[in-house]
Structure 1
Amino acid sequence: MRIGLFGLLGTGNLGNDGSLTAVLAHLRAEHPHAGIEVFCSGPDEVRARHGVSAIRMNWYRDEYTTASRLGSVVRKGLGKVIDFFRTANWVRKQDVVIVPGMGVLETTLPLRPWGWPYSLFLLSLTGKLFFTKVVLLAVGAGTVADRANRTLLVGAARLAHYRSYRDEISRDAMGAMGVDTSRDPVHTDLAFALPNPVPLADHGVVGVGVMDYHGSNTDRDNAERIHRDYVRRMTQFVSWLAENGRVVRLFVGDHVDEAVADRIIEAVDSRAVSVVHTSTLDELLREMARVDAIVASRYHNVLAAVKLGKPTVAVGYAAKSDALMAEMGVGEFCQSIRDLDVDRLVKQFTVMEERSAELRAVLTRRNTEMTRRVELQLAELSAIVRGSSR
């Protein structure tokens, strides 16, 4: 049995790499004799961290940087042709290829069609050509506005052998774009399969998750203004926390977020504020377990917080954060990152602290249900794997 794993993995996104960790742990436990190989963006990191064979997804190494010179444009264009054959050659060797979680069918952050959407479409297309089962496992999706991205992502979804989603809004979005989702199950995020660390909270410490936010895929013209506004408002909130006697630990969800954390620390200029450096979702969970309450922006920061049973306010950039918070029974503690109101955030945080014991009890009950749902998802995955041998 040969099992492939496919995605934007090993590039510093803690949520994506956490999904990979969860699926790898399951495959090694339930299918110990299978050969596993990862086709991804950061193969060196994946090999070093997980001890598994890994191959670079794109022939052109600067695929996800802007091509400003003619030579770069030519190499990037040539890479698209070469990537078709590289992907086809890799896919034909696998019995099943799994895309483990991630928001692979959404454009809530800036995304060019010839980048990830093209790669995912090649995967599903070559899977059909070589009778390799492509599994989109507990993925996130959203309604895609621009035609090029929508065509590629919808095409990839339709050609896949199996699709499941991490929430109802993802399945609804694919249905709205014309995909037949009548047989597609909804489970939950794969991160719920990861073990929780022993909670050792430091009293009076607040975690604040920040991100390098520049708007959505349709906000490119206003990206810098959106970014400045977000950083300014989060800085105001962190300043309020420090001035009111809280110790603040800043969390990131991707390596690109670290510059934002550094800017906030410099602006607040308080010994009460520091940044926590983590490189895996497991490390993030361990560090978040040490705080009393959390305010976070990135989806997997929010997910890690509620998974740990921490009173949480989500300053979300997409509907997926609101959906997760509602599903966990704490939907009132949300607001949009685009319209971030610092005064309202202070009020939400204050109420959240006052109701801390009640919210922890709610989150504990919901986490039991989430664990059951992710176990069901992984059981379905094993059934597909066992039925995929050639």
Structure 2
Amino acid sequence: MTAARVGVFGLLGSGNLGNDGSLEAVLGYLRAEHPDAVVDALCGGPEAVTTRFGIPAARMHWNRAEYRTASRAGAVAAKGLGKFVDVFRTAAWVRRHDVVIVPGMGVLEATLPLRPWGFPYSLFLLCASGRLLGTRVALVGVGAAPIGSRPTRALVRWSARLAAYRSYRDAPSRDAMREMGVDTSRDAVHPDLAFALPTPPASAPPNPPGPVCVGVMDFHGGNDDRARAEEIHRRYVDGMIRFVRALTVEGRPVRLLTGDDCDASVVTAILDAVDSPLVTAAEAASLADLMKELAAADTAVATRYHNLICALKVGTPTLALSYATKSDALMDRMGLGAYRHPAREVDAGRLLEQFRELERRSAELRRTLAERNRVAARQLQEQFTALTTALFPTAVHAYREAP
């Protein structure tokens, strides 16, 4: 008998707190339920993953400049060569494992700008290698959405078809894959993996008017918005500046939050434009840090999906600046579907009206969130039980139980 060899795969350790939070949740499950498993990663930021999570990690791409824009002939050639080399690198890595888990993330969507030969190609290589080499590849609690680009849609569809196990973080994700031609009859829907993370110790709700957490994003629209990306970005940043300024005029302290390294530019723009000591920026390095900030807030307004999750998980009444179906589905699941505002068309006046209504119902919404969080915890335990049944063979259980 040998211990299960488990790989984790994705854009992990690359500065996105939500992606790393999903990895943290899956590692927590593995350490609790399969402590003998030997785990390593193929990911975007291997050094960061090893440092933070204590597992060996390798680069997803042979070409270190994979995510830089290539304009010179040499850079273009290096990218092309990298795509070829990655076929063999990915297959060799997959072959060393019994199971590969893709933990959460929006790996089957293009709600943010995305090129088909970037991550969609890498995911296809992973799933195709798993099918050819007999390694079970599991897409666990992933997000999906309709995709307009034909090459991207084809790569995503075939990746899903070749995976041995699929589950989704919301019903619209499963619906999107079914519409793309994937048989989803055996695919389950569970809450986002981040709901499995530990929650900071409960504290008494702040006395109003308390601090407001505002989660911002370097938002340029989705993959189909490339032609007007800068217009969308300018409108979003201007709307957030106006909203934050209005809060400070009322004497409200504002705490700015991010969810990815690239969001820092929006924080800087707001701090410079509002220029008030009431506005400060948090330096969160994990979802746990975000949850601590949000647990201390009176209310929150958030754009990034995992900023929303953190706010809702700690029971803070939250208004979503929604940029994709996943945000709408999350708010509906948690009982706050009425508190949404379009991120592509931020209207500071209307946003302020919605925010005041949110605050008026704060006590009621905190009770709703407490109940919905209890349900999410139970559903995620069901997810992990199903995952063990699907991925880990009887021999592994026998190994665990041996004296």
Aligned with residue 62 of structure 1, among 57, 62, 65 = 65
Match of 1:356 in 2: 362
Aligned counterparts of 1:359 and 1:176: Cα–Cα separation in 2: 34
Give the secondary-structure state (helix, strand or coil) at the position aligned to 1:63. Answer: coil
Amino acid at match of 1:268: V
Aligned counterparts of 1:54 and 1:389: Cα–Cα separation in 2: 26
Q: How does 1:216-235 map to 2 (within 5 A)?
A: 216-235=222-241
Amino acid at match of 2:6: I
Match of 2:255 in 1: 249
Contact 2:235–2:345 at 8 Å: present in 1 too? Answer: no
Q: CA deviation at 1:386?
A: 2.2
Match of 1:237 in 2: 243
Aligned counterparts of 1:287 and 1:306: Cα–Cα separation in 2: 12
Aligned counterparts of 2:103 and 2:369: Cα–Cα separation in 1: 25
Match of 1:166 in 2: 169
| 1:207 partnered with 2:213 | yes
Contact 1:95–1:388 at 8 Å: present in 2 too? Answer: no
| 1:384 partnered with 2:390 | yes
Amino acid at match of 1:286: K
Aligned counterparts of 2:191 and 2:116: Cα–Cα separation in 1: 27
Contact 1:110–1:217 at 8 Å: present in 2 too? Answer: yes
Q: CA deviation at 1:385?
A: 3.4
Q: 1:350 to 1:192 in 2, by over 3 A?
A: same
Aligned counterparts of 1:307 and 1:220: Cα–Cα separation in 2: 33
Q: CA deviation at 1:284?
A: 1.1
Match of 1:304 in 2: 310
Amino acid at match of 2:29: H
Give the secondary-structure state (helix, strand or coil) at the position aligned to 1:218. Answer: helix
Contact 2:109–2:144 at 8 Å: present in 1 too? Answer: yes
| 1:183 partnered with 2:186 | yes
Aligned with residue 80 of structure 1, among 64, 79, 83 = 83
Amino acid at match of 2:321: V
Q: How does 1:66-215 map to 2 (within 5 A)?
A: 66-200=69-203, 203=207, 204-215=210-221
Q: CA deviation at 1:389?
A: 5.8
Deviations 1:271-299 (A, max 9, x none): 00011011111111112111111000000
Aligned counterparts of 2:352 and 2:86: Cα–Cα separation in 1: 49
Deviations 1:148-167 (A, max 9, x none): 00000000000000100000
Deviations 1:20-79 (A, max 9, x none): 001001101111111101110000000000110111100011111211211111101100
Contact 1:133–1:388 at 8 Å: present in 2 too? Answer: no
Match of 1:15 in 2: 18
Give the secondary-structure state (helix, strand or coil) at the position aligned to 1:338. Answer: helix
Q: CA deviation at 1:202?
A: 5.0
- Normalised by the length of structure 2, the TM-score is 0.95
Give the secondary-structure state (helix, strand or coil) at the position aligned to 1:196. Answer: coil
Question: Which ranges of structure 2 fall in alignment gaps of 5 or more residues?
Answer: 397-403
Percent sequence identity over aligned pairs:
55
Q: CA deviation at 1:220?
A: 1.6
Q: How many residues align?
A: 390
Contact 1:199–1:290 at 8 Å: present in 2 too? Answer: no
Deviations 1:243-286 (A, max 9, x none): 11110000001010011101101100000001101111111111
Aligned counterparts of 2:361 and 2:195: Cα–Cα separation in 1: 24
Match of 2:401 in 1: none
- Larger mean CA deviation between 102-111 and 27-36 belongs to 27-36
Aligned counterparts of 2:304 and 2:385: Cα–Cα separation in 1: 28
Amino acid at match of 2:275: D
Amino acid at match of 1:82: V
Contact 1:95–1:389 at 8 Å: present in 2 too? Answer: no
Q: CA deviation at 1:307?
A: 0.8
| 1:369 partnered with 2:372 | no
Give the secondary-structure state (helix, strand or coil) at the position aligned to 1:288. Answer: helix
Q: 1:389 to 1:267 in 2, by over 3 A?
A: farther
Deviations 1:311-363 (A, max 9, x none): 10000110110110011111000021112221111111101111110000001
Q: CA deviation at 1:388?
A: 7.7
Aligned counterparts of 1:259 and 1:277: Cα–Cα separation in 2: 13
Amino acid at match of 1:294: A
Deviations 1:219-252 (A, max 9, x none): 2222112111110000000000111111000000
Q: How does 1:326-337 map to 2 (within 5 A)?
A: 326-337=332-343
Question: Which ranges of structure 1 fall in alignment gaps of 5 or more residues?
Answer: none
